[in-house]
Amino acid sequence: MADSTQKRTVIVLGGAGFIGSHLCESLLDDARVICIDNLSSSTSANIEQLLAHPDFVFIKHDITEPLDLSTLPVYERFKMSVHGVSEIYHLACPMSVRNFRAMRVPILDAHSVGIKNMLMLAMQYKAKVIFASSSTVYGQRYSDVAVKESDVGITNHLQSRAAYDESKRFAETMLTIYADTFGVDVRIARLFRTYGPRLKMFDDQMITEFVLSAMDGEPMKIYGTENFRTSLLYVTDAVSALIKLAKVPAGVGPVNIGGDEEFYMKDVAARVNKLLGTTVPILYEQPLEFLSEHPMPDITYAKEAIGWMPLMRLDNGLQRMIDYVTANRHRLAYEGG
């Protein structure tokens, strides 16, 4: 345990990913950060601005393999034998909308073997665990009623996208049992659809594709009907929720972390057109295997239990997305390709 003059050390699994890289950046305000990622579906470009920071260490490693931190230089550098590890954030999930089928086994491994290896680290260092779960634990959207944490999801465990949905559910089960059996301090954040800078480009992610298409004068594609709708959460709001969840006393159950406003994707596309000054049309395509309507989150518990609510307005978030895509589209043209 760190003393009052020593920054705490935290581990971010999947720290070079979309949300993970923003989390690492925010945590560096008052912590030493060990970012662990195998870069299977993320990119080192997301963390290149952090590599020179004295309190940041990147370790390329697959968490489905055991990890002994005491054998690595960071152990002495961060004086881990004395100060240990305060928090472990688990965001390790190899993910690609376009190449989802090829990722199914690694996704299963990350939420089973990876969770087990992470729990071994947590028990070794008596660290808090903050797990990035998903709204998919609630299953498909069946009504307009926002889901609460007490709601039980209905999912088909043999469906084509079950590798993701069911592995998130299993991970929650495993974490809960280890908390009950071994006293691990576990916090579960059920993240709803999140967007922002560093969201993977050229991967059929609709919002980034809207921006890219509009810039190129090409039609924007919505994978579904004109009634496709969703909540949208800006990435820095997701990060602030994870950090707040880590700071509250133990005993907080799963927490919905999502946008409290619903948007039709056709309206989001229209806003992108307006912000860019373009007039490209919208095309409706067949739904993709991994893209579907999510239920709306009831975030009452998040407001009460961790003092959190989303702050970013959609137009401001979209403008930041546009700025990011403009600056990085050519450099990342083959990312995940």
**Tokens matching residue 3:** 């003393």
CA distances from 204 to 69, 119, 148, 159 (A): 37, 33, 29, 21
Tokens representing 172 are 């929650």
Copy the structure tokens of residue 234: 């800006």
Contact 147, 296 (CB under 8 A): yes
Q: Which residues of 88-126 are buried (b: 16+ CB within 10 A; e: fewer)?
A: bbbbbbbbbbbebeebbebbbbbbeebbebbbebbeebe
Q: Which helix (H) or strand (E) holds 154?
A: none
Our measurement of the distance from residue 127's CA atom to the centroid of its chain's CA atoms, rounded to an integer in Å, reads 20
Q: Say if residue 319 is exposed, middle or buried (CB neighbours under 10 Å; 0-12, 13-18, 19+).
A: middle
The tokens for 217 are 């004068």
Instruction: Give me the active site residues, please.
Output: 164
Interhelix angle 265-276/206-216, nearest 10 degrees: 40
Beta bridge partners of 234: 195
Locus of tokens 């709306």: 296
CB 284 within 8 A of CB 226: yes
**Residue of 230, 202, 194 whose CA lies nearest to 91:** 194
Tell me which H or E stretch contains 327: helix 314-328
